[in-house]
């Protein structure tokens, strides 16, 4: 059975004990509802450290008032067993009251980056992400923390925050894990009906076609427009964005430059899906 701690003090003590024993430690923050993509983060952590701890916390501060906080899938016991089987040796699973006790009044905001892309559609979302991740990393004091590249904007914001605040943890991005048809694994894929799931693959297909066009020297604007037409034709209800951006600053690009990345977000049925691809 995977050991579970529920206070920041207990997490700190466990991680520091590993360090005193000479171990390099990795930390994998999650919101649970774990799939193969999350477990790949544990695998990546084991490549870079001797011990891996993970957290499960569904963070209310990164959900908007009309978003899916109440129905977000939760299965602590099942997730703990998946983590144990993947090689994780400790789970941090705090309550909301532990993370945000009465009187909590502090927030972390990374300037500019949260206002772009997903941030435009989800105001305040990345402030909630930055706040909770700063608390998790401060308690874990890990040598390395592993995040998935599927949410590239989140990864860029966390990297900026960790560097700016001198948190002392190396932030590592792990490659997107995809299903056999190319759809990026996501806990929210569970919301898709069978028909929506079949049509959702249009998003990674559009990214792949646009990437191929741009790598071949095609113009950016027509490639992006063609991608959006393909996504809309598949029955996506809304396209929040399909853009070529600088991978660090997240600002739009009119031509391919080193580090450029295609970023996309669209809604299939009632489910908002995100994806990205390096160009």
pLDDT in tens, 99-115: 999 999 999 999 999 99
**How much is the pLDDT for 66?**
86
**pTM, full prediction:** 0.96
**Which residues, given as ranges, of the chain have pLDDT below 50?**
none
Q: Are residues 169 and 194 in the same domain?
A: no
In a domain, 236, yes or no: yes
Can 35 be counted among the known catalytic residues?
Answer: no
CA–CA distance from 148 to each of 28, 70, 154, 159 (Å)?
A: 10, 24, 9, 12
In a domain, 179, yes or no: no
Query: Is residue 253 a contact partner of residue 170, using CB atoms and an 8 Å limit?
Result: no
Query: 3-state DSSP call for residue 245?
Result: strand
**How much is the pLDDT for 94?**
98
In a domain, 208, yes or no: yes
Q: Of how many residues is the chain composed?
A: 279
**How much is the pLDDT for 258?**
97
Q: Are residues 30 and 149 in the same domain?
A: yes
**Domain boundary residue among 128, 146, 174?**
174
- Which residue segment(s) compose the domain that 164 sits in? 4-174
Q: Are residues 25 and 136 in the same domain?
A: yes
Q: In a 10 Å sphere around its CB, with 0-12 CB exposed, 13-18 middle and 19+ buried, how is residue 257 labelled?
A: exposed
Q: Are residues 260 and 130 in the same domain?
A: no
CATH number at residue 99: 3.40.50.620
**Which position among 23, 35, 38, 125 bears the catalytic label?**
38
Q: Are residues 77 and 141 in the same domain?
A: yes
**Domain boundary residue among 115, 148, 174?**
174
CA separation for the pair 53, 9 (Å, rounded): 14
The CB density around residue 81, as the number of other CB atoms within 10 Å, is: 14
**Domain boundary residue among 134, 153, 174?**
174
CATH number at residue 241: 3.30.1300.10
Q: Are residues 19 and 154 in the same domain?
A: yes
Q: Are residues 129 and 230 in the same domain?
A: no
In a domain, 261, yes or no: yes
In a domain, 37, yes or no: yes
Q: Are residues 108 and 211 in the same domain?
A: no
Q: Are residues 141 and 56 in the same domain?
A: yes
Q: Are residues 150 and 205 in the same domain?
A: no
Q: Are residues 154 and 212 in the same domain?
A: no
CA–CA distance from 63 to each of 30, 60, 201 (Å)?
A: 15, 5, 25
Q: Are residues 169 and 235 in the same domain?
A: no
In a domain, 248, yes or no: yes
How many domains are contained in the chain? 2
């Amino acid at each position: 059975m995977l050991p579970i701690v529920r206070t920041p003090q207990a997490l700190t003590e466990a991680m520091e004990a590993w360090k005193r024993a000479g171990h390099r430690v990795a930390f994998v923050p999650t919101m649970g509802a774990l799939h193969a993509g999350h477990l790949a983060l544990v695998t990546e952590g084991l490549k870079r450290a001797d011990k891996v701890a993970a957290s499960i916390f569904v963070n209310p501060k990164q959900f908007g008032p009309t978003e899916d906080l109440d129905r977000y899938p939760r299965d602590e016991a099942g997730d703990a067993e998946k983590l144990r089987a993947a090689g994780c040796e400790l789970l941090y699973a705090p309550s909301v009251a532990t993370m945000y006790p009465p009187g909590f009044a502090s927030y972390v905001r990374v300037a500019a980056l949260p206002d772009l892309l997903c941030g435009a559609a989800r105001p305040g979302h990345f402030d909630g992400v930055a706040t909770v991740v700063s608390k998790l990393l401060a308690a874990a004091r890990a040598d390395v923390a592993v995040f998935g590249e599927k949410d590239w904007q989140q990864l860029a914001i966390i990297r900026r925050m960790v560097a700016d605040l001198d948190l002392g943890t190396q932030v590592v991005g792990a490659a997107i894990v995809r299903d056999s048809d190319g759809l990026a694994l996501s806990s929210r894929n569970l919301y898709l009906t069978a028909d929506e799931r079949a049509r959702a693959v249009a998003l990674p297909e559009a990214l792949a076609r646009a990437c191929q066009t741009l790598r071949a020297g095609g113009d950016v604007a027509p490639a992006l427009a063609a991608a959006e037409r393909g996504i809309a034709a598949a029955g996506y209800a809304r396209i929040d964005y399909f853009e070529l951006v600088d991978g660090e600053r997240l600002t739009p690009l009119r031509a391919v430059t080193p580090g450029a990345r295609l970023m996309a977000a669209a809604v299939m049925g009632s489910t908002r899906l995100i994806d990205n691809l390096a160009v």
